[in-house]
Structure 1
């Protein structure tokens, strides 16, 4: 039996107030581990209940998502992703590692930013078979097996830049001291313009955006854990020069100030 998935970062409402909601993850097989972060599955049952809104601040990753009416590939989403859940439903997805989609796509991943592409336009008829298998699957293990068959059948040639980029994004996500593009340039030995090109080509968006997104993920995680109370201290710890800039960025993405968000968490906790 697989271990429970850790709480996903960037989810603004970790628990729905009513109904049933399930979220599972599975790791990829060894051959795909350098390209795929994980497979994911969400299901909800709100029959007889009012619709509920789920909001997330997406990660810098491409996803292949299977749900009617068709399977689609989604590029990096810059803003807040809002989805209204109602009735009963389920969705299966493949989360590519940052940079991991580029070898399959063979084009600048930034072309998909805030956009999507039908899976069949990239993978052809096998994508339609994959979609049918996932929609008919009884459990996530069967869905994951179908995803592995599709991806292994289209396995691209090795690309050293994938690991290079994925390592940089992982460092940004885990190291709170990385707050400026210049720090990444020093780490990898590239100038800012070359680093920008590398990220747009492989991640689908620039490094400054990635840094900002993960610092806001950190802020949200702290608020959800009830840790943050001093907004000036939190802003400075995340690399902001002042509290006002931090609050402005937070409101623009989350739709409210950090204090308002903290109060909403307390009222629904």
Structure 2
């Protein structure tokens, strides 16, 4: 979590902290292999202008219980923008990387940059689950309803040992943002590059190169949001970039402004 409590990847968290609160809750033990956590953003902008919150998404698929209907969000490879207005809340299910594959009807890459009706994946019961969840205010109760809905689906899922393997691969990358090259990662894992690419397309929904780059950009944005001066040349070297210019190009392409300007607000 950032110092604002909004989580890594939320851009400009200092601007949102006054009206946006994001709470988290662990899933039931029986879901821990598939679900990272539930997330529950609550906002109150009554009497204020709408606000567009930008997020550098993680390599995860989400089921989001929201009005007017629950949606499944694939990996969002560009900056994700959510318009907030009035007062409200949603409950999101953050699946572990690769863990949505047993629920999907094909490769998870087909969901990339898309939001599809959750009923298309989970059937009509997901809408009723969403209505019950959003009628509640207590996060543990909301999480308990989500637990029951997802646990009821588990008996119909075929066992897939690659789910755990892929989750570990992504965790290796995100814990080490200094990793830079796919061939270097594949060599370290003792895995052919093509197999690594196929696994990520099938299970993650984004390429290994994208996941490597996003881990570095999360680190760069987190440093900028800390509010202290950042030596971008040193950070570029720490993250495996050839030079500061390369970091600046990546950051600007993803966030929309150069890192120095972003850090300067």
Normalising by structure 2, what TM-score? 0.93
Shift of residue 31 of structure 1? 1.0
| Structure 2 partner of 1:193 | 194
| Structure 2 partner of 1:51 | 50
| Structure 2 partner of 1:121 | 120
Shift of residue 15 of structure 1? 2.8
| Structure 1 partner of 2:94 | 95
4+ residue stretches of structure 1 with deviation over 6 A? none
| Structure 2 partner of 1:263 | 264
Whole-angstrom distance in 2 between the partners of 1:137 and 1:5: 25
Whole-angstrom distance in 2 between the partners of 1:26 and 1:17: 21
Bigger shift: residues 53-62 or 16-25: 16-25
Structure 1 residues 177 and 257: alpha-carbon distance in aligned structure 2, compared to 1, 3 A threshold? closer
Shift of residue 20 of structure 1? 2.6
Structure 1 residues 173 and 30: alpha-carbon distance in aligned structure 2, compared to 1, 3 A threshold? same
1:98-123 Cα offsets, whole Å, 9 max, x none, are 00100111410000000122111111
Normalising by structure 1, what TM-score? 0.91
SS at match of 2:146: helix
Please list every run of 5 or more consecutive structure 1 residues that lacks an aligned counterpart in the other structure: 265-269
Whole-angstrom distance in 2 between the partners of 1:179 and 1:17: 31
Please list every run of 5 or more consecutive structure 2 residues that lacks an aligned counterpart in the other structure: none
SS at match of 1:15: helix
Whole-angstrom distance in 1 between the partners of 2:186 and 2:115: 30
Whole-angstrom distance in 2 between the partners of 1:17 and 1:145: 28
| Structure 2 partner of 1:72 | 71
Whole-angstrom distance in 1 between the partners of 2:17 and 2:228: 26
Shift of residue 5 of structure 1? 10
Whole-angstrom distance in 2 between the partners of 1:6 and 1:17: 11
Whole-angstrom distance in 2 between the partners of 1:192 and 1:152: 35
CA contact (8 A) 1:5 1:25 kept: no
CA contact (8 A) 1:19 1:44 kept: no
Shift of residue 138 of structure 1? 2.7
Bigger shift: residues 90-99 or 9-18: 9-18
| Structure 2 partner of 1:39 | 38
Whole-angstrom distance in 1 between the partners of 2:152 and 2:4: 27
Structure 1 residues 161 and 187: alpha-carbon distance in aligned structure 2, compared to 1, 3 A threshold? farther
Bigger shift: residues 94-103 or 125-134: 125-134
CA RMSD, 1 decimal: 1.8
Structure 1 residues 168 and 227: alpha-carbon distance in aligned structure 2, compared to 1, 3 A threshold? farther
CA contact (8 A) 2:25 2:38 kept: yes
Structure 1 residues 113 and 18: alpha-carbon distance in aligned structure 2, compared to 1, 3 A threshold? closer
| Structure 2 partner of 1:10 | 9
Whole-angstrom distance in 2 between the partners of 1:5 and 1:201: 34
SS at match of 1:54: strand
CA contact (8 A) 1:168 1:184 kept: no
